[in-house]
Structures are given as C-alpha cells and as structure tokens.
Amino acid sequence: MRAWIIQSWLRLQSSYYFIPALMGFGAVLLGLLTTIIDLRYQSEIRDLLGWFFASTVLSARSVLTTIAASMISVAAVTFSLTMVAVTTAAGQYGPRLIGNFMRDRANQVTLGTFVSTFLYCIVVLKSVSEEIAIDAQSTVGLTPSLSVLVALLLTLISVGVLIFFVHHIPETLNAGSMTGRLSTKLISQIETGRYPNSSKIDATQCDRLGDPFDSDLTQTVRSTASGYIQAISLRGLVEWSQENDMRVRLHHIPGEFIMMGDAIMDVIADDTQKDFDRDLFSETIAPKLLTFLALGRERTEHQNLLFLGEELVEIAARALSPGVNDPFTAINCIHWFGDICLAMMDAPNAPACLLDEQGTPRIWTRSVEFDALCSVLFGQTRQYISADENGARETLQVLYHLLNRSSDVTRPSLQRQIDALHAAISESTMGRAQKDRLKGGPPYTI
C-alpha cells in the first residue's frame, strides 16, 4: 500500500467530519427507504402499528418539524461544548493534545447522531404531501406512519446520546483519564510491535548477515520535499524490493524531520556487483521509492512511539510550571512513565531487518529502543521534576523500582537517568533540607 493512502486514511479517521458525514449519508438513505415503504404499504403499516402510531399529514409535519429544529439546535450546542473542551485542553495540557479531542469517537458519533436525525426528518418532511404522483394517471396521499415512528426512535436515541455526551466531556478533561488513555495507547503500540502495518511480514535479527550496503554500487534516494515523516509503507517496500530484486536501508523513522535533499534510503541490487543506470534510477526508481514515504507538516502518533511519550511529557511539564502548579498531575504521568518503560523492557527486541515471503532480507531499518524512550520520558521532564520535591521523589521511586526489575541490557539506561536526576536535584533551587531528603540510595518503594 502506498504511504499517501495510509496518510489519507489516517487523516479521514482523525477528522471531526468523517463519521458524522457517513452517519448523515446513512440517515438520508434511511429517510428515502422509509418514505418508499410508507408510500407502498401505508395501509398495512397502519393496521400493523394500530391507532397509536397512525399519522396524518398535518401531525407528521408538526412532529418532524419539531424534531428537526430541536436536533440542529442540540448539534450546535454539542459542537460548542467540544470547542470549549478543545480550548481548555490546549491551554492546560498543550496544543498537541487537541488532536486527541478531534479524534475522539464519542464526540464524532454524538455530532453525527444529531445531524443524522435532523437530515432524516428533513428528507421525510420533504416527501410528506397530500398527494404524490405514482405515474401519469394516478396519485396517492402519503401518511408516513413508519417514517414518523423511526423519527421518534431516533429522537429517543439522540436524547440518550446527549446524556452520555454531558457525562463524557468532563471525563475527557480529567487529567488522570487523559494520561491513562495516552499511556495505554503507547503501551499497546509497544506490545503490537514497533513496525505497524507489517505484522504479516516475517522479521528477524539480521546483524549476522553483515552490511550489504557497504559497496560503491549502493545508490541513495534523496528527499524532494521537506517535512515530518508521517508514515512508511514497510509492506509496500518489501513487496517492491522482492519484485525488483533489491535491498533497501531506511535512514529515518516516522516522526523525524526531513529537509529537501536529505538522504532517505540506500538501495542495492541482490547481485551486489550489478550497477544501476544513473538516469533510470533518478527518473524511475527513486520517485517510485519515495511513494512509500508520506511527509507532512506535523508529527502524528502513527508508527511513532516517541510522539505519544512527548505528549505525556508535555502534560507533566505544564503541570509543574509556576502558572499551573499541579504536581499531582505530573506524578500521575510519572507513574505511567514507569509502566511504559516496564512494557518496553518486557517487549522483544526490534528486528534489524524485514524479510520477504521467501525469507530473503529486504528492508534494513531503525527502531525506537529502550534508551531513547527513557531519555524522552525522564530526560525531557528532568529540569521540571528536579525543582519539585514531590515530583522528584516519585520519579526516583519509579526509577529504582524499574532498576530492581531491569536486565543487563536496560540497567545502564536506568542508572544514567537516576544519576542525572540526582545531579539535577543538587543544582536545583530546592532548599537544603529538601535535597537532603532526596539523597542517597533507595529508601524509595512503590
């Protein structure tokens, strides 16, 4: 799959209008369907539903007009509440977290429910009349009993969705809920593998195979634009490399910024003695390989562990700023830092390359390792945590707890974070008594 297709699909999923638009389209089709059924089987429907649900043209118009007017008013209110939540989140938690509210399925479904009910009533209302032409010789009056019944059911559903929405908005603004959702998403990405969309590709460590790109015949593909890497179609690269008997080495991972002319990947033929036609490579092969990468103006969470970690860092940093002064939100983030690092410690090592269906190594790539994730979570918050006794104490507790459960591979990274935090505490503006309470070995336990 091309990277731009992945990028476009992610944009649609994260847009605020996609699900409401689909629901609205479905409501229009439902309105047309119930109107046709009412028109053809109105006497049978009236007998089936009984006198309670029977409708006249006048009563149908009144009910449908009332429902439509109320639904569009409620839709405007819910949209306003969503914008208030977005504004509050941007000010309190950081502008990068706005996307989480826009991607919130509950908000999208809520707006879609009200808009769909409104559109359904408008479609049915347009069809309600005293006489409808069947053909050139005959007409029939429409008494939309089934359509009005469906409109009433949609209204009841909309009332339930409104009650849920009123409960959901304050919940989404809760700092604990937000940090928990972000952390769970990050841990899920760690557990499912650091190569999204490539779960069907066999992967293994390729260090023992040597470096096939250490050759004068290796060609370099350079970027023709600037921006952040938002997606890499690894599966597409593997399939292309297999079809063309090539091997590819990626220089960057999603989330990194690329400038125009930067080297993006190296390419070499399976037959390492085979040279490329320079003109053919620049005109055909390089542009084709660039289609497997998607660049954008901003970073996204797709295939990007560090972006999710930096969102948590931003929440903790803002919570410890003098303007907010909310150390308990920061402590909540710190506890999740520990859980994320523990998941990374337990995850299998990322492979150095990806294989095709025949088991031939095709793609050499980089991945986010434990040390890099630790540096983002604990390193980027160190300057804020070191000035707050409560935050520093909880961070040391988490780090020592992780150190006790670490392996020989992860222990040096954790020890570096502990030493760096102690050094930052000693140079911070905290009082002498506070610094003394944080010195020494681990009396810290969780």
In 195-283 the beta strands, taken as DSSP E runs, fall at: 203-204, 219-222, 227-232, 246-250, 257-258, 263-269
Which of the residue ranges 31-45, 73-87, 268-282, 372-386 would you say has the lowest mean pLDDT?
Answer: 268-282
In this structure, are residues 367 and 256 in contact, taking their beta carbons and an 8 Å threshold?
no
Model confidence pLDDT, tens digit, residues 140-194: 556 677 888 889 999 999 999 999 988 888 877 777 888 888 888 888 888 876 5
d(CA 422, CA 445): 17
Question: Which two structure tokens, joined as six digits, stand for 186?
Answer: 């990050």
Q: Which of 253, 226, 65 is nearest to 144 (CA)?
A: 65
pLDDT band for position 4 (cuts 50, 70, 90): low
Residue 131: is its pLDDT beyond 60?
no
In this structure, are residues 385 and 330 in contact, taking their beta carbons and an 8 Å threshold?
yes
| Residue 78 CB burial class (10 angstroms; 0-12, 13-18, ≥19) | buried
Q: Give residue 337's pLDDT.
A: 93
DSSP type of residue 282: I
**Backbone Cα Rg of the chain:** 29
| Residue 280 CB burial class (10 angstroms; 0-12, 13-18, ≥19) | exposed
Cβ contacts of 277 within 8 Å, gap of 6 or more: none
| Residue 325 CB burial class (10 angstroms; 0-12, 13-18, ≥19) | exposed
Model confidence pLDDT, tens digit, residues 246-282: 888 888 888 889 999 899 988 888 776 666 777 778 7
Amino acid present at 429: T
In this structure, are residues 109 and 161 in contact, taking their beta carbons and an 8 Å threshold?
yes
Question: Which two structure tokens, joined as six digits, stand for 321?
Answer: 């700023």
Mean pLDDT score, 389-401: 89
Coil, helix or strand at residue 305 = helix
pLDDT band for position 204 (cuts 50, 70, 90): low
In this structure, are residues 60 and 147 in contact, taking their beta carbons and an 8 Å threshold?
yes
Residue 3: is its pLDDT beyond 70?
no
pLDDT-above-70 percentage for the chain: 83
Q: Which of 155, 144, 145 is nearest to 51 (CA)?
A: 145
Q: Following DSSP, what letter does each residue of 184-208 receive, concatenated?
A: HHHHHHHHH-SSTT-TTS-EE--GG
- Other C-beta atoms within 10 Å of 240: how many? 19
Amino acid present at 24: G
